[in-house]
């Protein structure tokens, strides 16, 4: 029986690596890795395969960037050919990027079963492209593999059959736990002249934050305030880099004391940085989860999160995009406030193995333990 994994964008790679590894170790299923090419820069893609110890993709589609319609359609056209020739028994998709939905749409119409890893997350914000991708992918997937119980509840509320849903834990955390020691042995902090717990890390790339000039300017001013209190390392996503240039904000950011704009970083280097930070300032989904496991304070500069467990149990604070409010929240943390967190159940480094067993069970190769 053959599983086809679809990856496309940066946040997919750390989710697929542990599943791929577990399937390969158990050696009961055939598998191939298909990269749509949604992300194509070395720093947005290649470095993650090396850092995560994942083999190079078996099939690379090279669809690249474009409008949502263009990108989704291109992935669909290419994947239809791949599915027709590869004849997979199961298509495995992860997360909520355009490549995820495109792959699921092609598979469902070709009658190929779909497993969605990270099912059930909801921001309840239909203006967020990822929310559309999540809702629609879940609706047509046969196996809904969830990271936490809130996701199960969302799926049940939407009327999806409980038999399709399995709580497996957070697969991205498998990658984090496997890489943490290696990351800590790197000389990243030394090379950048930083002290452990003496700096903040920022990432921004969400369309609603960087495409809107007013929101982006506000966020960058709040960031400037944080940078006045401690060094801030800001690896800039290509989308954000483009917007900063278009708005002519580059020069003033380069001059902001304490703020260091750098290129996107590899998985291990970035983990070295986040795991020893004083504060993380982000609009990423994955980082909310990673900081929860690492016990690092996280300010999520968005109005909502599809990962409420990181707020309920973890170190995450969702502070919105109002610069005044963000400054206050950052000051509070830098003045010593500590939100005590704990790691959610099943975020234990063994999710990839649970998923591999479920795939075997689904494909008729034995019963997986619940």
Positions that interact with ligand UD1 (CB under 6 A): 9-11, 38-41, 44, 65, 71, 96-98, 129-130, 205, 237-239, 242
Burial of 258 from C-beta contacts in 10 A (0-12 / 13-18 / 19+): middle
In sequence order, what are the residues at sequence separation of 6 or more whose Cβ sits closer than 8 angstroms to the Cβ of residue 195?
Answer: 189
Q: By three-state DSSP, how is residue 31 classified?
A: strand
Q: By three-state DSSP, how is residue 147 classified?
A: coil
**Residue number with CB closer to ligand UD1 (39 or 327):** 39
**Residue number with CB closer to ligand UD1 (134 or 357):** 134
**At closest approach, how far in Å is the CB of 98 from ligand UD1?**
4
d(CA 352, CA 171): 6
| String of DSSP letters for 72-90 | HHHHHHHHHHHHHHH--SE
**Closest of 193, 5, 170 to residue 90, by C-alpha:** 5
d(CA 270, CA 291): 12
- Identify whether the C-beta of residue 61 lies closer than 8 Å to the C-beta of residue 78: yes
CA distances (Å), origin 157, targets 152, 290, 301, 303, 329: 9, 27, 28, 23, 33
Q: Is 205 a catalytic residue?
A: yes
**At closest approach, how far in Å is the CB of 8 from ligand UD1?**
7
**Residue number with CB closer to ligand UD1 (128 or 230):** 128
**Closest of 303, 319, 309 to residue 341, by C-alpha:** 309
d(CA 281, CA 284): 9
Token couple for 330: 């950052």
**Residue number with CB closer to ligand UD1 (11 or 218):** 11
**Residue number with CB closer to ligand UD1 (256 or 316):** 316
33 HSE (CA, 13 A, CB side): 21
**Residue number with CB closer to ligand UD1 (98 or 256):** 98
- Identify whether the C-beta of residue 154 lies closer than 8 Å to the C-beta of residue 146: no
d(CA 266, CA 370): 35
User: Among residues 5, 20, 116, 205, which one is catalytic?
Assistant: 205
Catalytic residues: 205
């Amino acid at each position: 029986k053959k599983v086809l994994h679809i990856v496309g964008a940066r946040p997919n790679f750390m989710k697929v690596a542990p599943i791929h590894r577990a399937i390969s170790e158990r050696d009961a299923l055939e598998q191939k890795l298909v990269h749509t090419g949604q992300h194509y820069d070395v720093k947005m893609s290649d470095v993650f395969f090396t850092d995560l110890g994942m083999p190079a993709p078996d099939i690379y589609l090279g669809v690249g960037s474009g409008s949502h319609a263009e990108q989704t359609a291109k992935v669909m056209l290419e994947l239809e050919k791949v599915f027709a020739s590869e004849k997979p028994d199961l298509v495995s998709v992860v997360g909520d990027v355009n490549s995820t939905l495109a792959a699921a749409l092609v598979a469902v119409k070709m009658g190929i079963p779909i497993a969605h890893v990270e099912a059930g997350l909801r921001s309840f914000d239909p203006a967020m492209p990822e929310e559309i991708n999540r809702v629609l992918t879940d609706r047509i997937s046969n196996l809904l593999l969830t990271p936490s119980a809130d996701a199960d509840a969302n799926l049940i509320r939407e009327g999806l059959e409980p038999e399709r849903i399995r709580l497996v834990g957070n697969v991205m955390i498998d990658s984090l736990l496997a890489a943490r020691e290696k990351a800590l042995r790197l000389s990243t902090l030394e090379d950048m002249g930083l002290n452990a717990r003496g700096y903040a890390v920022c990432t921004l790339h969400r369309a609603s934050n960087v495409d809107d000039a007013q929101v982006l300017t506000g966020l960058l001013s709040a960031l400037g305030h944080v940078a006045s209190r401690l060094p801030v390392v800001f690896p800039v996503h290509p989308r954000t880099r483009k917007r900063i240039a278009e708005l002519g904000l580059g020069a003033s950011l380069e001059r902001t004391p304490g703020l260091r704009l750098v290129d996107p970083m590899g998985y291990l280097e970035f983990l070295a940085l986040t795991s020893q930070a004083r504060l993380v300032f982000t609009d990423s989904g994955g980082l909310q989860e990673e900081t929860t496991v690492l016990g690092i304070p996280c300010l999520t500069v968005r109005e909502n999160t599809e990962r409420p467990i990181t707020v309920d149990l973890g170190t995450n604070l969702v502070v919105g995009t109002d610069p005044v409010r963000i400054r206050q929240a950052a000051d509070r943390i830098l003045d010593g406030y500590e939100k005590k967190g704990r790691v959610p159940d099943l975020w234990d480094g063994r999710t990839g193995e649970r998923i591999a067993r479920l795939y075997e069970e689904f494909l008729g190769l034995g019963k997986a333990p619940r």
